[in-house]
Structure 1
Amino acid sequence: MGTLSLYTAETKRFTKRRFTRFFVLGLVLVLGAISVGMFFTNQKSTPEVVAAAEKEAEASFQRDLAMSVEQNKICAIQPECTQWTPTREDYQAEWYMPSTFNFKKHFGAMATTLAALLAVLAFVLGASFVGAEWSSGGMMNLLLWRPQRIKVLSTKLAALLVVLTGITVVLSAVWTGIFAVIANLRGTLDGMTSGAWQSMLLMELRGLVLVLVFGAVGFGLASIGRHTAVAMGAAIAVVVLFQFGLGTVLAMAQVSYAEKYLIPTWVAAWMDKSYKITDWNAPCLNSATGCEPPTMTIEWPAAGGLFAVTVAAVIAAAMWTLRSRDIT
């Protein structure tokens, strides 16, 4: 009963924080702006739109054809000049059509965008949730009332992850519905079979896992440093040193498959189920289509394993630090 009351108290504490509410509201506004932008920058492929695109493609072909005739006359009297005549197949109507939102083809990128934004939200909220209590002395007061340190920290983490799960599930459902409407009004839902919907759902579930990973890591880092700034500083260090700095060094050193050392590669592999890396520094390989650079593919289980090890290490360090250090 005591653990349940502590969990309830921590859940209320997290959800009632003004920082939590304002940050979530800010994210909702950003998502709203993205949705509105996607609605107005796409257009449904009506027969009138297709006919206009066909007309524009034909006009471009005729204009370039006339220009090529004049240029070929000049080229005929010049040495080492190659004549060129355009063909109608080079002017497809689809290239002249406005953008249209194909749900099956384009929603994956939108799901990844939502997961990335929610992951940032989770990291910041997770770090501030425990970091602010250390800074204000609230954690010390709580541990006087609840001296079971590991139980207190694990209950806080559980409350954080459950709330993040709720936020992610709700926003993912709304996000999917909004873009289904956009596709219906400004694009197409063609090809969305039961299997396609299942694939989208699994992608959003992987997005949920990504959000929980970032939330747990932010929580753990702030707990280890006993301050929100520690987690934020670690995040900045990772981005600046291990992303831009390491990426630059690896590129200069011409390291094979340098992308595999960068975090976005593993996030992309997790969200898209696989990510192919090309080693542009290695000698090309002979193939049926010619000389091609070697490639390697990172699969989603490998990315998931990396995330699991990272979370386990950070949370274990946070638990050990809380248990071994004085509460000051």
Structure 2
Amino acid sequence: MNLFKTELRRILRRRLTLIFGILSAAGLLTLVGVMGAISSKGPSEGDLAEAQIWADEANETNPEFNDCVRDEDHFETEDYVWVREDPAYEDLTHQERCEYFVGGFTAEDYLYVYTFNFANEGQYTLVGVVIVVGLIMMMVASSAIGAEWSSGGMSNLMVWHPNRLKVWGVKLGAALAICAAAVVAFSLLAFGLLYLVAVLRGEVGDMNSAWWENSTERWSRTGLLALGMTALGASLAMLGRHTAIASGVIAGYLIVGDLIVSLVSMALPMDYPERLSLYTWVSAWISGRVELYNWNAEEFVPDVMVITSTDAGLLLGGVVLFFALLATWSFRRRDAA
């Protein structure tokens, strides 16, 4: 009997896996549908005309703007030398300069149109999708192992496969394989659907080589984070021998843990209190770097602490490895009954 294939089938055929899979797909389709519904390629001519009427009416009640428009030499004074010399403003008309510097209203101020830009927003949406997949797989992995302990299936399995390291390795490997497949599948599905929304209802944007390089690195790190979350969930379930223990530890930190860290950092004077939060390190891992600032009352320039993806990867990887090794040690030493 191929233990790895058997474990894959067992996890995939569980009711909870099916429910989470259906809910995840439905959630993704709903998200894409909402973004497609609220996005538009741009305002119509009627919308622009109406917005311009509103802007003109607002400008009529703005005496400073009206004085600026009537005074053709308004920007010829010494106060606006930098405006005349800056190439960024040389193509602006006199009225556009008044709108920009004096505070006049434009049609854009009264346009309430959202346009989905894939190059600008798709990257972050895909990161969110992968993180959600990681959270779901964390629960699926912990539930699969915890249920086997509760039902006595783990004890029966070890009668036929007494090598505990092999059993634990197969179960962890199967959970990670399913997580990797889910991350790839949902990422490709989300990418395709969001790109379709951008083509039909929004803008694709500039997807140059720099964009692909940055996006690939960010998606890869997020995918590794999802695998780490899955390994953590499986390890906690193996360590506690119950799904509720793993779920309780995870939910407890997500709900209460960061609040406790915030209270401790407020009560104890310390530099860079944000470094105590796991979310800071997760953000650094996904984005590539995070800068923390420590403001000193005696200085105008704050001290800066930079957390790179390498620093965050070492810490997060160490946490996952610690619990995996602890679960391995516990599984080898404790009685299976």
Contact conserved, 1:111 with 1:203, CA < 8 A, in 2? no
| 2: CA distance, partners of 1:244 / 1:40 | 36
Query: Match of 2:62, SS?
Result: helix
Structure 1 residue 46: deviation in Å? 5.4
* Alignment CA distance shift 1:212-1:21 (3 Å): same
Contact conserved, 1:53 with 1:94, CA < 8 A, in 2? no
1:55 matched to 2:59? The reply is no
Specify the alignment match of 1:324 in structure 2.
Answer: 333
| 2: CA distance, partners of 1:31 / 1:183 | 16
1:156 matched to 2:175? The reply is no
Query: Match of 1:276, SS?
Result: strand
Specify the alignment match of 1:18 in structure 2.
Answer: 15
> Deviations along 1:260-307, whole A, 9 cap, x unmatched?
111221111111111222335x3374xxxxx34333221111111112
Structure 1 residue 173: deviation in Å? 0.6
Tell me the number of residue pairs that the alignment of Structure 1 and Structure 2 aligns: 303
Specify the alignment match of 1:248 in structure 2.
Answer: 263
Within the candidate set 137, 140, 146, 2:152 is matched to: 137
* Alignment CA distance shift 1:57-1:316 (3 Å): farther
Structure 1: which 4+ aligned runs deviate by more than 6 Å?
Answer: none
1:119 matched to 2:119? The reply is no
Specify the alignment match of 1:218 in structure 2.
Answer: 233
* Alignment CA distance shift 1:48-1:284 (3 Å): farther
Contact conserved, 2:4 with 2:170, CA < 8 A, in 1? yes
Contact conserved, 1:115 with 1:211, CA < 8 A, in 2? yes
| 2: CA distance, partners of 1:170 / 1:95 | 41
Unaligned 5+ runs, structure 2 = 67-96
Structure 1 residue 147: deviation in Å? 0.5
Specify the alignment match of 1:88 in structure 2.
Answer: 99
Letter in 2 for 1:29: A
Task: Among all aligned residue pairs of Structure 1 and Structure 2, give the percentage whose two residues are the same amino acid.
Answer: 28
1:170 matched to 2:185? The reply is yes
Contact conserved, 1:44 with 1:100, CA < 8 A, in 2? yes
Structure 1 residue 66: deviation in Å? 5.2
Letter in 2 for 1:139: M
Contact conserved, 2:55 with 2:109, CA < 8 A, in 1? no
Q: Greater shift after overlay, 235-244 or 156-165?
A: 235-244
Query: Match of 1:326, SS?
Result: coil
TM-score w.r.t. the length of structure 2 is 0.82
Specify the alignment match of 1:179 in structure 2.
Answer: 194
Contact conserved, 2:52 with 2:106, CA < 8 A, in 1? no
Structure 1 residue 112: deviation in Å? 2.5
Q: Greater shift after overlay, 93-102 or 203-212?
A: 93-102
| 1: CA distance, partners of 2:62 / 2:151 | 74
Contact conserved, 1:126 with 1:219, CA < 8 A, in 2? yes
| 2: CA distance, partners of 1:193 / 1:51 | 31
Query: Match of 1:185, SS?
Result: helix
1:199 matched to 2:210? The reply is no
Contact conserved, 1:259 with 1:265, CA < 8 A, in 2? yes
